[in-house]
Structure 1
Amino acid sequence: MSALLAGTWWMTHRRLSALARKPAVLVLTLVQPMIWLFLFGQLFRKVVELPGFGTGSYLDYLVPGVVVMNAVSLNSFAGMATIDEIERGTLNRFLVSPVRRSAIMNAGVVEQAVSTAFQSLVIIALGWAAGARYPGGAAGVAVLVAMSVLVGIVLAALSNTLALLVRDRNTIIGLNIMLLLPLTFLSSAFMAKDLMPGWMRDVAAGNPVSWALDAGRAALAADPDWGSAAAHAAPLLALTAVTVGLAVFSLRSYQKSQ
């Protein structure tokens, strides 16, 4: 265990140091969620007048949607960095070193978690500046950020798994483009589930993006529903563990193929 922790620490330090040298990446990738926040917030602000929408402010409803959608978008292309390391030979050098294979994947998880949490907090702050309010307070905001981190890790782990198995940029790009919009729009990111067609509600019920949103919104309510938050967070946490395990297995399979 100590070897795993030490390896995770040093591999994470390496990744975060590289990230700190390129802070513009984190800032520039915030441009798109800012557009979603302010454009969609104005375009659909009257949708709350529909009977059954369930909230008086569309911006309050939208901020969690943008937070989680940004996490999906940010992490879906994590496999591109893995392909870069394969092509440079960096990954192969780590695989012949004493560092544990789990530590290599853990470092990627921590890096993605830090990036996602930072951007989520910025979006939440921008939403507040635009007029959104979070009655659930700091605890509700913390739950929303945690849910964005979990769904981000799921997508990052799947992207890394794909990179290790197919080792092709075009496949990753094509699959992510194909999945990004369905994952977002077949969820409760922008529309209350009660107003969706029946088949969309069924899809949203099994969509991890909706799990993250439902948990976050339950915690952000004026009277937080912690039971609902836990019920939606539990399957997302389980899925996170499964996908990270799959990424570690794929790394070992990659090593055997070399």
Structure 2
Amino acid sequence: MSTTITTSKQDLGLQPRSTSQTPEMKTSIFGEFVQETLALTKRLFIQLQRRPSTLMAGIIQPLLWLILFGALFQNAPQGLFGNNLSYGQFIGAGVIVFTAFGGALNAGLPIMFDREFGFLNRLLVAPLTSRFSIVAASAIYIITLSFLQTAAIVVASAFLGAGLPNIVGLGIIALIVFLLVLGVTALSLALAFALPGHIELIAVIFVTNLPLLFASTALAPLSFMPQWLQVIASLNPLSYAIEPIRYLYTHPSWNFASPVMQTSWATISFGIALLILVAFDAVVLVAIQPLLRRRLG
């Protein structure tokens, strides 16, 4: 009788797996993890297919920002935002980054609603190889949507006269968007497990969304800001995603040593900006590990 009970617990994933696993077993576990992640990701895209207005709004809103803000400042003095640079060209990088940031900040909402409707509890008692597939599926979903939105903004910016980076430049833009979205999505998912309900999560999103936008270089260069705001903008991860993308649009020839931003304490090169985004992701992913293990355990 005891043997039967022990076996059933192991089959349900309630008992830890044996630490002595052969390479074949590890390969099988990894394959099951990938299968679970893809299945949960497919579920999210099915929800999107049933509610396509979510994606359409996520594309139309940044395009309106791009068009309206560009028109609002079209009569600004030439050279105000750089040599031969219109405000529409200037704001394009900010719209790309802020759109990706806004989508990533909302990443925790589907998890929160699954918590409140009880579906997450069903997943947690299911015989999953790894419950981290729940988190991985949400991250893949948000990153994919961010890439779709970024592509739409890049194409629209090209039609509006902002130009188009070369293939390598587009690849770097995708990398920057990926790095930013990965870290912010991880934070949002952690909040979805830490906060008591969706009201609190939405409140956090509203409180942090616009302040981080205005405390970055999305709408104005650092030189336009008062000293105290320059310091805040120089600490904002969004600035380190915006400035390299902006540099790609304004400088056809670039390298990782090219200076992209002058802060109050140092000149930030292209490569250092990317390293700061990588460091941001590393800090966030390490910081949320205990919370995720406790909530998913």
Contact 2:222 2:230 in 1 (8 A): yes
Aligned counterpart, 1:94: 123
Change (3 A) 1:190 1:89: same
Residue 205 of structure 2 aligns to which amino acid in structure 1? N
Which residue identity does 1:241 align to in structure 2?
A: A
Asked if 1:113 is matched to 2:143, the reply is: yes
Superposition map of 1:143-222 within 5 A = 143-220=172-249, 221-222=251-252
Matching residue's letter, 2:253: D
Matched, 1:130 2:172: no
Whether contact under 8 Å (1:187, 1:210) holds in the other structure is yes
My pick for the range that moved more, 67-76 or 239-248, is 239-248
Structure showing the higher helix proportion among its residues: 1
* 232-241 vs 113-122, greater mean Cα deviation: 232-241
**Counterpart-to-counterpart distance in 2, 1:108 and 1:183:** 23
Q: Which of 234, 240, 245 is the aligned partner of 2:281?
A: 240
| TM-score, structure 1 as length reference | 0.88
User: Cα distance, 1:38 vs. partner?
Assistant: 0.7
Q: Which whole-Å CA distance do the structure 2 matches of 1:239 and 1:155 have between them?
A: 9
Q: Calculate the aligned-residue CA RMSD, in Å.
A: 2.2
The C-alpha deviation readout for 1:84-125, integer Å capped at 9, x for no partner, is 111222222222222313222111111110000000110111
How far is the alpha carbon of 1:47 from its aligned partner? Answer: 3.9
Q: Deviations over 1:132-185 (max 9, x none)?
A: 113x32222232233223322322221221121112222112221111112111
Hey, what's the Cα distance between the residues in 2 that align with 1:77 and 1:92?
Answer: 21
- How does the TM-score come out when normalised to structure 2? 0.77
The whole-number CA distance in structure 2 between the counterparts of 1:106 and 1:85 is: 15
Q: Which range moved further: 186-195 or 148-157? A: 148-157
1:183-242 Cα distance to aligned partner (Å, 9 max, x none): 111111111222322222221111110011122223332222333332111121232233
The answer to whether the Cα contact below 8 Å between 2:183 and 2:284 also exists between their aligned partners in 1 is yes
Distance 2:158 2:98 in 1: 18
1:74 aligns with 2:103: yes
Structure 1 residue 57: Cα displacement: 2.0
Query: Residues 131 and 51 (structure 1 numbering): CA distance in 2 closer, same or farther, change over 3 Å?
Result: closer
Asked if 1 retains the 8 angstrom alpha-carbon contact of 2:78 and 2:86, the reply is no
* Unaligned segments of structure 1, at least 5 residues: none
Q: Is the 8 A contact 1:154 1:244 kept in 2?
A: yes
Conserved? CA contact 1:144–1:213, under 8 Å: no
Contact map agreement 2:101 2:184 (CA 8 A) in 1: yes
Ranges of 4+ aligned residues in structure 1 off by more than 4 Å: 245-248
- Aligned pair count? 255
- Larger of the two Rg values belongs to structure: 2
Question: Does the 8 A contact of 2:79 with 2:85 survive in 1?
Answer: no
For structure 2, list consecutive stretches of 5 or more residues without a partner in the other structure: 1-25, 258-268
Query: What is the alpha-carbon distance in structure 2 between the residues aligned to residue 9 and residue 48 of structure 1?
Result: 51
Query: How much does 1:52 deviate?
Result: 6.5
Range moving further from structure 2, 170-179 or 87-96: 87-96
Q: Which residue of structure 1 lines up, in the alignment, with residue 272 of structure 2?
A: 231
Question: Do the aligned residues in 1 keep the contact of 2:81 with 2:90 (CA within 8 Å)?
Answer: no
Closer/same/farther in 2, CA of residues 125 and 235 from structure 1, 3 Å limit: same
Query: Which one-letter code corresponds to 1:160 in the other structure?
Result: L
- Compare relative contact order (CA 8 Å, sep 6+) and give the higher one, 1 or 2: 1
- Rate the CA distance shift 1:74–1:204 in 2: closer, same or farther, 3 A: same
Quick one: percent identity of the two aligned structures?
27
Distance in 2, Cα, partners of 1:107 & 1:48 = 47
